[in-house]
Amino acid sequence: MLQPPVILVNEKDEPVGTMEKMEAHQKGLLHRAFSVFVINSKGEMLLQQRALHKYHSGGLWTNTCCSHPLPGEDVLAAAHRRLQEEMGFDCGLEAIFSFTYRAALDNGLTEHEFDHVFLGVYDGVITPDAEEVLSHRFLPLGTIRRLLAEEPDTFTHWFQLAFPKMEAYLENKEKGGE
């Protein structure tokens, strides 16, 4: 069964083509992705544990949801779509930062993504798709920081890279900064 295509991009996030998702990961080609971080009104972050059968990083903890926009799909619209599909809710999202990373995965695949990071606030009901999500939980930022230091292998590679940037953004925002 063919996977949906991803948008291949250059280092400036300019589209250079499309490719079937698995092939792009097998070849380690740079493609557009997004990561959604959701916090509640207490400032706790919503993490998901990826379903065990995911094509990579199964069983690992990560941000609220992440995926790839489809060709022709706006990244923010894709983030809203996947948040609803994976976690069963939607909320306002704000673009915070983007970064590029490359990571060899344990199954011979390579993540090479230009990742757009979004932040939302949500306190309502969460009804995750069991095909996508094994578990979920809200945790204080300090607890996440401690777990990342003590048990890094239980988190996805991209989360380990993005969390410090998101934490710094949230702390700066709390102090009244931008």
Catalytic residue list contains 66: yes
Structural domain containing residue 18: 5-174
Catalytic residue list contains 91: no
Q: Where are the beta strands (DSSP E) in the chain?
A: 5-9, 15-20, 31-39, 45-50, 61-62, 65-67, 93-104, 110-121, 133-139
Of 65, 66, 86, 132, which one is the catalytic site residue?
A: 66
Question: Whole-number mean pLDDT of the chain?
Answer: 93
Q: What is the arithmetic mean of pLDDT over 79-83? A: 97
- pLDDT surpassing 90 at residue 121: yes
Q: pLDDT tier at 173 (50, 70, 90 boundaries)?
A: confident
Q: What is the pLDDT of residue 73?
A: 97
Percent of the chain with pLDDT over 70: 97
Q: What is the pLDDT of residue 53?
A: 81
Q: What is the pLDDT of residue 178?
A: 56
* pLDDT tens profile 136-169: 999 999 999 999 999 999 999 999 999 999 999 9
Three-state DSSP state, 159 = helix
Of 65, 86, 111, 113, which one is the catalytic site residue?
A: 113
Q: What is the arithmetic mean of pLDDT over 11-40? A: 95
- pLDDT surpassing 90 at residue 2: no
Q: How far is CA 53 from CA 56, 62, 122, 133, in A?
A: 8, 15, 27, 10
* pLDDT tens profile 31-58: 999 999 999 999 999 999 998 887 677 7
Q: How many domains does the chain have?
A: 1
Q: What is the pLDDT of residue 177?
A: 65
> Which CATH number covers residue 113?
3.90.79.10
